[in-house]
Amino acid sequence: MRRMPKYRIAAVLLAAVVVAGCFPSAQSLSEPEQTQFSAEEPDAKHPVPVPDAALAVLRSDKRVVDSMESEEPPLKTPPQSWFSASILHLGSRDEQDLIVIGLDHLAGAHSVPFWILRPTSTGYNLVLRTQGHDLEVKRHHAKGFRDIEASDESAATFMSVIYRFDGEKYVQFKDKSKGL
């Protein structure tokens, strides 16, 4: 039996490494989509830059406008550092919806703004804007889209709102509050 020369072994190993690098790892394929977001850890676990078309939508939000105007000199566009974003699949796995979390000037002490944006042929539509300590994308679907729950608490009360897609946007479906 002939032995393979060392340079051929090295070439085969190098080719295997290159080919393996072209495919996503098994871990990234099985890694679950982030469905829980919190003011305690506002940075998305799988962050993506906020696309310019999504920034254009956010630029019209009153909280963002007020923060841009309070800068010296006033800003025309909010900086990426004010946001953390992640891809969601609220309906079809083929469509990449976007959750954007307000950071920095936009966040409160224990509460952050959340924006849910859906892609369109011309940019993004804002389908939910809410504020809270936590946001969870639920498993339950209505009209083809997953429910979303936002929650917050004060020193004396826990509050939760479940939003459901109505065919165009998310609307309040159910709310509850209870004393702590």
- pLDDT tens-digit map of 119-158: 999 999 999 999 999 999 999 999 999 999 999 988 888 9
Q: Is the peptide bond before 73 cis (omega within 30 degrees of 0)?
A: yes
Residues of the chain above pLDDT 70, percent: 83
pTM of the full structure: 0.80
Confidence band, pLDDT 50/70/90 cuts, at residue 9? low
CA distances from 46 to 24, 89, 148 (A): 15, 13, 19
Q: Answer whether 88's CB lies under 8 Å from 73's CB.
A: no
- pLDDT tens-digit map of 21-56: 433 333 334 467 899 999 998 889 999 999 999 999
Residue 8, pLDDT score: 61
Say if strands 123-132 and 157-165 run parallel, antiparallel, or are unpaired. Answer: unpaired
58 vs 17, residue with greater confidence: 58
Burial class (CB in 10 A: 0-12, 13-18, 19+), 101: buried
Task: Report the distance separating Cα 135 and Cα 138, nearest Å.
Answer: 9
